[in-house]
Structure 1
Amino acid sequence: MKLSDMRREYALSALKREDLEQNPVDQFNLWLQQAIDFGLNDPSAMTVATVDEHGQPFQRIVLLKNVDNQGFVFYTNLGSRKALHLQHNNKISLHFPWHAMERQVHITGTVEKLTAMENMKYFTSRPKESQLAAWASKQSSRISARGVLEGKYLELKEKFAEGKIPVPSFWGGYRIKVDSMEFWQGGERRLHDRFIYVKPQLDQSNWDISRLAP
């Protein structure tokens, strides 16, 4: 089959204005819980898009680790490619592709670094294997072979065999402060339902909600 011939109907659900929560974070949490209850694989997985100093966009999959009215949180190596991008351009885009539910959520905003206390609280909650992996990988750097990475991991495992593993100075989290949040629900005959929340600059307590053409 040709790619141009691949298509299907979207008919699982619909989204109406009266269905929406007034706060987009509440609406996101409602959809996230529904994705979890649906049994969706990796419902917290999101595409994170950043832009380098030449204007070249990059995307990668990252796991959401917290969300509340303060923003969306993820963690990474602070020397990684995305972290370097965010140093000179703190604008970011997130995308949750919940295909099985015929839903998408798209978020734009700006990032701020988490505090050392926030980083430590989450790092110490991770499994020891994940803590060691954070130390072992100089994320986004070139390595000659996988064996180099595995060798470093085993070296660190022996080094930290006894006692707690400290938080690496090159590891931490970001909080995305939301500027807009769009909810997309697939619809029949390609008449999809799209609603976007935008926070007015002068009134930070309310969100403008608009329906978008599909």
Structure 2
Amino acid sequence: MSEIARRLDQCRKPTGDVGKIVVENMNEGHYNLTTWGLDKVDINNNFVILDVGCGGGKTVNRLAEKVESGKVYGMDYSDDCVKWSIGLNRKYIDENKVEIFQGTVESIPFKNEKFDLITAIETVYFWPDIKDSFKEIKRILKIGGTFVIINEMYRSDKFKDRNEKFEELGSMNIFSSNELEILLKDVGFEKIETDLIEDKNWLRCMCKKSI
């Protein structure tokens, strides 16, 4: 396995000492992407929020700072990520403002219409069935709630060679903005709004649940 493939595999499910380094790099490396991605998201201080694929927990930590009387949940496929994220968010966990758990996007263990906001940052590439996963996200999102996807890669001509190499080596799916919009519309999301930074290959896609 090449070094790139190994790294991409660790991005999918970080584990062990190597995974810890990858997660720490992601916490730092995705900071500006996440700042830009969340810039247009209205977050009330009583929101209940879920970060899907929370990794090392930095985004959970940043969101918890914004919800004075709300709560932020972080979910990750990796048991090690859950452990690392708990360590980073111990203060907020002790205050009952944060909860971290292991889970998969295909079956999220919450009742219908639980969350005001659901975030997916650098993770949808790895979801095994993207359409069914979007249905599950919609199920647990409140009516009027927001789902936001933030990616540092989307399918584009400018980054075609790089992205296709990542897809091949990492067993991942890099979607175009149009593909994501069609999938979200097909499962019933509305008010879909996509922003791109073409020179960086960054994407933010926000949508609402109306019914």
Q: TM-score, normalised by structure 2?
A: 0.26
Determine which structure has the larger helix proportion and give its number: 2
Greater C-alpha Rg: 1
Q: TM-score, normalised by structure 1?
A: 0.26
The structure showing larger relative contact order (alpha-carbon pairs under 8 Å, at least 6 residues apart) is 1
Determine which structure has the larger strand proportion and give its number: 1
